[in-house]
Amino acid sequence: MLSCEKEGLPSRLSEIVHHPLSPFTKRAFYAIVVLAIVMAIGTFSIGAAISAITFTFGPLFGSALKEGVRYLEKEEERLKGKLESKDADSKNHIPAE
């Protein structure tokens, strides 16, 4: 029985890992597999966290945005009113000669 079969590696994988010209040692191969697993879990957990935050704070952000737009519209109307009153005052004002 081959030593790789004792270790439980599939035969094709065993050929790649134990080939004399292979750049991979068994330890390097396991390190790459662990890195791939960690990256996959990290990617999915970050995606899940972003989805949860969006689901939780999305309505809050929407209502804050709506209030902000409403405030800007009120300020715009207030400033237009001030400018119109100044414009009307300057038209009604007769300069002294």
Q: By the 8 A CB rule, do 5 and 14 touch?
A: yes
Note the pTM of the prediction, 2 decimals: 0.40
| Count of other CB atoms within 10 angstroms of residue 14 | 17
Please write the tens of the pLDDT for every residue from 21-68: 666 677 888 888 999 998 888 887 888 888 888 888 888 888 888 999
Q: By the 8 A CB rule, do 40 and 32 touch?
A: no
Please give the biggest Cα pair distance in the chain: 117
Instruction: Give me 45's structure tokens.
Output: 């957990």
- Which position has the higher pLDDT, 96 or 58? 58
Query: Count of alpha carbons within 13 Å of 88, Cβ hemisphere only?
Result: 6
